[in-house]
C-alpha cells in the first residue's frame, strides 16, 4: 500500500513514518513536507535511502503538486500543521494558511483522486478548557481558545463537512499532549531537558498549575496506525494517555531524572488565554479498536530524557536557531 503523509518531517509525523516502515514491510511512503522551522529532515536521517520511502519538499497549498502526488495513493495521513500556541499568538496568519487553507487544498486533491481513506491529525486543544472535573469526549463541542486551536478546529470542521457533503472517507484523530524523541525544543518537556543539559533555567508559565494529559509519541503512532486500518469513516477518535499531571509535577519529575533541584525553575508570566486543563476520554478507541497506552508517564519521561541526552547532535543546532530568534514568547520566557 502507498501512503501519502503530510508533515512527515515534524515530530509526530517522523515518528509515525518510522513506525509504519518498521511495522509493514510492503508499505511505501511519500512524505510531503514544506520544511518550515519545525520540519527537520534530520528527524528521518535513519530512513533516508530506504527504497520504500520518498521525500518531496512542497506545500500542501500547492494544488498542482498534490494532484501529481495523489497518483497511486491509497490513503492520506495529514500531520502537516503549524502547531505552537505561542507562535500563533504572535502571528496567526501562517496557522490559517497551513491549518485551514492547506487542509482544504489537501481535501480537494484527495477527493478528486478518490483515495480510500483520509486520516486528519488534530489536537485536544480544539475542545477548549476544562475545570477540575470531567473529560472531553468526541461529542464535546469545539470551543478553541487560541489562534492555533481555532485553526485546527476549522480544519476539523472542513474534514467533517467533506465527509457529510461528499461522502469523503475521512477520520479525525484528536491526541492529547505528545512528548518523546524528535520533539522540537520549544515545547515544555523538550525545552526543559535541553535547557537542563546546558545548566540553564527551566521556564514555567504562571505557577505551573495547568494540567495536561501526557501521551508518549510512540503510543500515539500505534493509535493512528490502528485508526488508519480499522477506524470507522466519518468518526473522530480521542487518543489520551491516561496520564493527567500538572505542569509543575512534570517539571519536578524531569528535574529528578536529571539530578537537578527546584532552583532550576523560573516562573514566568502566563501566556494569554492559557487553557487550564485538558483531559481526554479515550473510551471509544479503547473499546472499539482495542488500543490503550502502553507507556506510563514515568517510563516515557525516562525514555525521553535518555534520548535527548544521547542525541545532542540532533537538538543543539535547533537550540542555536531558537536562541537567534529576536521575537516571540519562546525567546522571552
- Specify whether 37 is catalytic: no
Cβ-contact 4, 76 below 8 angstroms: yes
DSSP 3-state assignment of 209? Answer: coil
Within 13 A of 27's CA, how many CA atoms are on the CB side? 20
Which among 33, 82, 86, 124 is annotated as catalytic? 124
DSSP 3-state assignment of 315? Answer: helix
- Specify whether 124 is catalytic: yes
Grid coordinates standing for 329?
Answer: 514568547
Count of C-beta atoms within a 10 Å radius of residue 197: 16
Q: Is 31 left (phi over 0), alpha (psi -120 to 50) or beta?
A: beta
Cβ-contact 295, 216 below 8 angstroms: yes
Q: Is 158 left (phi over 0), alpha (psi -120 to 50) or beta?
A: alpha
Q: How many residues does the chain have?
A: 333
Cβ-contact 47, 21 below 8 angstroms: yes
Write down the H helix ranges in the chain: 11-23, 63-69, 85-90, 93-96, 103-112, 147-166, 188-197, 217-230, 247-257, 283-289, 297-310, 312-324
Which among 53, 127, 148, 308 is annotated as catalytic? 148
Q: Which residue, 11, 101, 87, 85, is CA-closest to 314?
A: 11
Q: From the centroid of its chain, how far is CA 141?
A: 21
Per-residue CA distances from 332 to 266, 273, 315, 329 (Å): 12, 17, 20, 5
Cβ-contact 70, 30 below 8 angstroms: no
Q: What is the spatial distance between Cα 104 and Cα 101, in angstroms, rounded to a whole number?
A: 5
Which among 125, 156, 213, 286 is annotated as catalytic? 125
- Specify whether 184 is catalytic: no
User: Which residues are the active-site residues?
Assistant: 124-125, 148
Amino acid at each position: 500500500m502507498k501512503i501519502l503523509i503530510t508533515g512527515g518531517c515534524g515530530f509526530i509525523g517522523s515518528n509515525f513514518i518510522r513506525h509504519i516502515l518498521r511495522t509493514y514491510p510492503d508499505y511505501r511512503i511519500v512524505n510531503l513536507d514544506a520544511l518550515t522551522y519545525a520540519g527537520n529532515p534530520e528527524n528521518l536521517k535513519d530512513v533516508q535511502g530506504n527504497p520504500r520511502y520518498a521525500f518531496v519538499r512542497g506545500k500542501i497549498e500547492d494544488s498542482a503538486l498534490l494532484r501529481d502526488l495523489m497518483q497511486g495513493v491509497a490513503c492520506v495521513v495529514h500531520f502537516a500543521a503549524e502547531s505552537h500556541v505561542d507562535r500563533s499568538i504572535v502571528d496567526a496568519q501562517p496557522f490559517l494558511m497551513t491549518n485551514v487553507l492547506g487542509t482544504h487544498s489537501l481535501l480537494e486533491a484527495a477527493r478528486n483522486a478518490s483515495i480510500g481513506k483520509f486520516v486528519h491529525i488534530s489536537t485536544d486543544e480544539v475542545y477548549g478548557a476544562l475545570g477540575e472535573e470531567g473529560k472531553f469526549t468526541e461529542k464535546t463541542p469545539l470551543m478553541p481558545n487560541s489562534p492555533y486551536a481555532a485553526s485546527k478546529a476549522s480544519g476539523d470542521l472542513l474534514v467533517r463537512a467533506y465527509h457529510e457533503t461528499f461522502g469523503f472517507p475521512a477520520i479525525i484523530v484528536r491526541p492529547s499532549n505528545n512528548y518523546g524523541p524528535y520533539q522540537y525544543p520549544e515545547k515544555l518537556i523538550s525545552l526543559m531537558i535541553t535547557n537542563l543539559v546546558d545548566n540553564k533555567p527551566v521556564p514555567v508559565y504562571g505557577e505551573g498549575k495547568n494540567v495536561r494529559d501526557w501521551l508518549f509519541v510512540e503510543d500515539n503512532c500505534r493509535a493512528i496506525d490502528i485508526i488508519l486500518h480499522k477506524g470507522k469513516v466519518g468518526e473522530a477518535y480521542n487518543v489520551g494517555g491516561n496520564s493527567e499531571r500538572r505542569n509543575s509535577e512534570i517539571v519536578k519529575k524531569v528535574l529528578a531524572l536529571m539530578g537537578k533541584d527546584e532552583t532550576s525553575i523560573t516562573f514566568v508570566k502566563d501566556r494569554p488565554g492559557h487553557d487550564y486543563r485538558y483531559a481526554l476520554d479515550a473510551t471509544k478507541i479503547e473499546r472499539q479498536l482495542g488500543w490503550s497506552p502502553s507507556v506510563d508517564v514515568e517510563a516515557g519521561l525516562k525514555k525521553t530524557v535518555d534520548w535527548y541526552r544521547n542525541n545532542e547532535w540532533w537538538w543543539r543546532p535547533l537550540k542555536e536557531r531558537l536562541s537567534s530568534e529576536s521575537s516571540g514568547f519562546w525567546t522571552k520566557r
